[in-house]
Structure 1
Amino acid sequence: MYVKEQYLEIKCLADIPADEWPREKLKAKGPKCLSDRELLAILLGKGRKGQDVFSLAGCILEMMDENGGFPDLDELQTVKGIGPVKASILVAAVEFARRRIRPEGVKISAPSDVLPLIQHYADRKQEHLLCLTLNGANEVIATRVITIGLLNRTQIHPREVFADALTDRAASIIMAHNHPSGNLSPSSEDRSITRRIKESGDVLGVQLLDHLIFTLKGFYSFKEHGEI
């Protein structure tokens, strides 16, 4: 059975004021103010005996992150409380959104242009390393989760970053990862990884345009600070 440990410290639905429950929050503030977990809770509708919908949504969210942001029909049904109907609804909802509201074609002119495509990962309790592939006009081809680290550490190898970039025939990439600590300052490991990816990209002919560190409160751009 799929177990989600990283969300254990987050409140359950019963601990949240009624006016902050997902449906009520959606009505009062609009969908953009909801976290991924809250949006999933609305799609699920209800939880199961011994596990409320908020906790169940957290479990599924981790599974999706580990699958590059997309739900897998068969894997979803390994989660207790998720049968074929709910699994089908989730897969269909994500695919519908992918078709109707795509990041493809978004032109990146500044680091701030990247944030709307990645900001929803800022509340994760583990580091998520993301990679945006871009064409020669700096338009986004795709945004993917490359690795999920262990709290404050992300293990990454250049082949994991550039595998999809080469398949996309990308001219360049932008890396980004969240800092669960809330600290925007890059670590020595962040700088080392950036140099390594840039050097590998130079060899492959796929330019690393920037590396962003982001939190719920802001971002740090390696390019803006003259580190790329």
Structure 2
Amino acid sequence: MRPRERMKMAGPESLSDVELLAIILRTGREGKNVNELAQEIMDRFDSSLRSLCNASLEEIAALDGVGLAKAASIKAAFELGKRLYAELSKPRTLLNSPSAIFEFCHEMRFYEKEIARVLLLDSKLSLITYSDVTVGTNNQTLLHPRDVFRLAVRANANALILVHNHPSGDPSPSRDDERVTLSIAEAGKILGIKLIDHVIVGRENYYSFRAAGKISED
């Protein structure tokens, strides 16, 4: 079975280093199929991914049947791996209180237009990523649950926090703020992605729907 077919059937973790390298290479060379070329490359670097990773682009490209395009694909794959490791190694931001949320979004105090921000969290309420999803006029913004949960599903989030600012400086919620909060909370129950809080950022302080008892704890 070819490496791509095995990956489809059993997942990438089932493939050997040589088979994964063969997928990156895509094609072999005259007299050698792609698996044989991948094995030859690994043999050249003593079957060590570390040695292959540390090799220069020119060194890899100079190997018979490799060339610049294949060498660039190999280096790009290693670079993505390094960046993923760096991303996973960063300490996560814990957003488990309204004050922590307000501190994280403190720059929103000075925005002249309303902006809605979605904070996407893992099961421990640590930040995965965030996105500003709408930009409104100086006194209103529109936000739909589908825009919010599209981001949450894409990030594989367990929970989310909604934040938006009031350019007036007064964080008191409007009827529209309450309506949007309710609709997102209800949609989250259906999708299994909990709305932890909706925080409105004012100039000097904030309003938390959860602290005010308007978002249930269950």
Instruction: Please say whether Structure 1 and Structure 2 have the same fold, judged by a TM-score greater than 0.5.
Output: yes
Letter in 2 for 1:107: L
Letter in 1 for 2:181: T
- Counterpart for residue 159 of structure 2: 172
Percentage of pairs with the same residue: 33
Provide the rounded CA distance (Å) in 2 between the counterparts of 1:109 and 1:131. Answer: 15
Residue 107 of structure 1 deviates from its aligned partner by 1.3
2:196 to 203, 209, 216: 209
- Counterpart for residue 220 of structure 1: 207
Within a 5 Å distance, the mapping from 1:85-124 to structure 2 comes to 105-124=92-111
Residue 143 of structure 1 deviates from its aligned partner by 1.7
The answer to whether the Cα contact below 8 Å between 1:104 and 1:142 also exists between their aligned partners in 2 is: no
Q: CA-to-partner distance for each residue in 1:146-200, whole Å, 9 max, x for gaps? A: 1011111111111111111101110100000000011111000000000000011
For the residue of structure 2 that corresponds to 1:180, the secondary structure is coil
Structure-2 change in CA distance of 1:103 and 1:151 (3 Å): farther
- Counterpart for residue 198 of structure 1: 185
Letter in 2 for 1:222: F
Q: CA-to-partner distance for each residue in 1:111-164, whole Å, 9 max, x for gaps? A: 111123211121111100001000001110012101011111111111111111
- TM-score where L is the length of structure 2: 0.56
Unmatched segments (≥5 aa) in structure 1 = 1-98
Provide the rounded CA distance (Å) in 2 between the counterparts of 1:179 and 1:120. Answer: 12
- Counterpart for residue 189 of structure 1: 176
Letter in 2 for 1:216: R
Residue 103 of structure 1 deviates from its aligned partner by 8.5
Unmatched segments (≥5 aa) in structure 2 = 1-85
The answer to whether the Cα contact below 8 Å between 1:130 and 1:144 also exists between their aligned partners in 2 is: yes
The answer to whether the Cα contact below 8 Å between 2:170 and 2:203 also exists between their aligned partners in 1 is: no
For the residue of structure 2 that corresponds to 1:122, the secondary structure is helix
Structure-2 change in CA distance of 1:139 and 1:208 (3 Å): same
Provide the rounded CA distance (Å) in 2 between the counterparts of 1:154 and 1:104. Answer: 32
- Counterpart for residue 135 of structure 1: 122
Structure-2 change in CA distance of 1:176 and 1:125 (3 Å): same
- Counterpart for residue 20 of structure 1: none
Structure-2 change in CA distance of 1:181 and 1:108 (3 Å): same
Provide the rounded CA distance (Å) in 2 between the counterparts of 1:182 and 1:166. Answer: 32
Provide the rounded CA distance (Å) in 1 between the counterparts of 2:148 and 2:90. Answer: 19
Provide the rounded CA distance (Å) in 2 between the counterparts of 1:103 and 1:184. Answer: 32
Provide the rounded CA distance (Å) in 2 between the counterparts of 1:224 and 1:176. Answer: 14
Provide the rounded CA distance (Å) in 2 between the counterparts of 1:148 and 1:103. Answer: 29
Residue 203 of structure 1 deviates from its aligned partner by 0.7
The answer to whether the Cα contact below 8 Å between 1:147 and 1:155 also exists between their aligned partners in 2 is: yes
The CA RMSD measured in Å over matched residues stands at: 1.8
Letter in 2 for 1:214: V
Structure-2 change in CA distance of 1:123 and 1:104 (3 Å): farther
The answer to whether the Cα contact below 8 Å between 1:130 and 1:146 also exists between their aligned partners in 2 is: yes
The size of the alignment, in residue pairs, is 129
- TM-score where L is the length of structure 1: 0.54
Larger-gyration structure (1/2): 2
